[in-house]
A and B are shown apart, each in its own frame.
Chain A
């Protein structure tokens, strides 16, 4: 077993055992009462907690899960909304644009021969959504539809409103659709901002000395969900507003930092980095002023 035993191991082990009894040998009386004073309150709490704390315990658990569930639902809703907008509303609006000349522009363009002649080559007529209106009906459908499909959401909205402006029959539903979409984005943006504000407030309020790896990972997961929503919103008409866009961009940076640093125990310097990013950009005050009073993450 070892190189040393030229002697009998038994007496040596026995002697070691005897001597080892002196190793960290407790001296004096066990401080029973002092320790009991610290234990008794928790015993009382444990026995009452079984009955009275049942509801709070469940709520605590629910509160713990809620941010993730909420964020996941929001992200899913945004993805669904944007997909719906791109895949369903866009072709529909394209179809409307294609039909528009027949119903609205064509009477002015095609009925009046002077207009037909003059409008065709003018540069002004080729801009915007009315471009296809000056040509014949069937080619217009094939020309306008693809261009509408690849246009950005914002230009599509503009297209829709300008193309439909002359049509009394179609203007009401299209305006309603646009208003609905804008309302949806506004709502999603507001909810993301509320979540971001809650996350960053919790992050700052949390004591740095008590921040362990697990809590950092939780913050990281939460931040990842909010980051996903933020990036989706950056790619949506909600970011058309320059103020919102700037806010989302700054928020994206700070969230990305939190996500990136959440895998390992946080060093003081890393935490300072995140806090400085928040401070330099006035992120929390801007978030708070962008959130309407009374808005919650519900």
Chain B
């Protein structure tokens, strides 16, 4: 079995997945902030 890299968190299997998660969270936040702007303006 391949050894996990040092520092890699348990919820991802590779650094690539972690980077994809960061970018996805940015897109999600922009979406949420857009909703926030439109809802309360």
Do these two chains interact? Answer: no
